[in-house]
Amino acid sequence: MTICLIKTEMKNPELIFKTTAGVLFLFVAMGIALFLPRESFDYIRAWVYLAAFFIPVLVITIYIFRFDKRLLESRLAVGPISEKKKIQKLIQAIAGIAFISVYVISSLDNSHKWSEVSFPVSLIADAIILIAFIFLFYVFKKNTFLSATIEVQEKQKVISTGLYGIIRHPMYTGAIILLGFTPLALGSWWGLLSVIILIVVIILRAIDEEEELRQNLEGYEAYCNKVKYRLIPFIF
């Protein structure tokens, strides 16, 4: 089994490099956003959060690499440059700025004590973030067509079972949960301002994505008629 794994990995050096570079870039970017504003690494909540964030990221990434390389490749094309539509380029640019600002504002808030979040509350938030990653793992496991850009892929089909039988965009729901509890994990209430912007951006992205899928993915219109809610059952 070990020999087979080594041979498989040797056949995918470019994918391994891109995946590793992507994870490292995200880690460095988040680290800079968290520690540079306070000019110190003495931020225990940030270290706990990074562990709660990146351990699941690594586990999910390794799983996808082993069992769904096609999905992994489609997830690597991320950001405004990769999008084809101008509105999505703008949405992704705003999302990127808001994402980083969550960490910068939370770090400054915790450092300067603009608001107070108890350490137990931060740990509970970390636990919820872990649960959000479990939620996202099942989403990735169910849907191999989860491209990082809005597009209809070759041979794509409508996924309507599992979490997709309850809401139409469970990946976005998982992301909202993860991001929503991030400021609390970092000891901040003010960081939620950037999260609000991110939630608005995610909603706009989901609406625009559905227009693309309704027009170009066979069976998606019928799926929308069957599954009524986009992100939150009985609400939206």
Phi, psi for residue 100 in degrees, rounded to 5: -65, -35
Contacts 24+ apart (CB under 8 A), 71-77: 71/140, 71/144, 71/145, 71/146, 72/15, 72/19, 73/15, 74/145, 74/146, 74/147, 74/148, 74/149, 74/153, 75/146, 75/147, 75/148, 76/18, 76/19, 76/22, 76/148, 77/147, 77/148, 77/149
User: pTM, whole model, 2 decimals?
Assistant: 0.88
Q: What six digits make up the tokens of 110?
A: 């915790």
Confidence bin at 68 (pLDDT 50/70/90): confident
- What are the pLDDT digits (tens) for 79-115? 677 677 788 888 889 999 999 999 999 999 999 999 9
**pLDDT tens digit string along 172-198?**
999 999 999 999 999 999 999 999 999
pLDDT at 4: 43
CA–CA separation, 170 vs 35, rounded Å? 31
Residue type (1 letter), 158: V
| b/e per residue 58-93 (b: at least 16 CB within 10 A) | eebbeebbeebeebbbbbeebebebbeeeebeebbe
Q: Going from the N-terminus, what domains does the chain have, and what CATH number goes with each?
A: 2-226 (1.20.120.1630)
Confidence bin at 11 (pLDDT 50/70/90): low
pLDDT band, very low/low/confident/very high, at 28 (cuts 50, 70, 90): very high
User: Which pLDDT value is given to residue 79?
Assistant: 65
pLDDT at 70 over 70: yes
**Average pLDDT of every residue of the chain:** 89
pLDDT tens string 103-160: 999 999 999 999 999 999 999 999 999 999 999 999 999 988 887 777 787 788 999 9
